[in-house]
Amino acid sequence: MLTVTPEEITQFRSQLADSPEALTALDTIEECEGYLDDAVPLLLMRETAQEADRSLNDLLEKCRQFLCQEEVREFLESGLIAPIVEPLAASAGIPLGTATALSICVFKLGAKQFCKVPGSGD
């Protein structure tokens, strides 16, 4: 399970202070004791008022093409998620809070690791 520490949540809060949706996402992650596997479906359900029909992995897969662009990957590798949340939400057609949590997931997984193509031998 991917877990966000309280220190990381504090760091993301300062980055995302101008986005109420992103701050709500961080509140939800805290509510789930930092467990992103629990927070993402809960966020999606709260933001869309529908049962989450996709797993965390399905959502990440849907966003892979955007998240693995070189510039986006560089932001994530340096822990900067603020510049990519809105473009991710727009490109994947997902709510801002969910995009925030997914960005944090890729940061926690490691963008380089996440963006490796399975079976490519890299």
- Band (pLDDT 50/70/90 cuts) for residue 51 is confident
47: in domain: yes
49: in domain: yes
- Band (pLDDT 50/70/90 cuts) for residue 117 is low
84: in domain: yes
pLDDT for 118 equals 61
118: in domain: no
40: in domain: yes
Q: What is the mean pLDDT of residues 63-72?
A: 96
pLDDT for 121 equals 46
The total of structural domains in the chain comes to 1
Over residues 80-108, the pLDDT tens digits come to 999 999 999 999 999 999 999 999 999 99
57: in domain: yes
Amino acid at 66: F
- Calpha distance 25→121 (Å, rounded): 36
- Calpha distance 39→108 (Å, rounded): 14
Per-residue CA distances from 4 to 38, 41, 116 (Å): 12, 16, 22
74: in domain: yes
What is the residue range of 84's domain? 6-113
- Band (pLDDT 50/70/90 cuts) for residue 55 is confident
119: in domain: no
pLDDT at residue 119 above 70? Answer: no
| Collapsed DSSP state (helix, strand, coil) of residue 103 | helix
Concatenating the DSSP letter of every residue in 41-88 gives HHHHHHHHSS---S-HHHHHHHHHHHHTSHHHHHHHHTT--HHHHHHH
Query: What's this model's pTM, rounded to 2 decimal places?
Result: 0.91
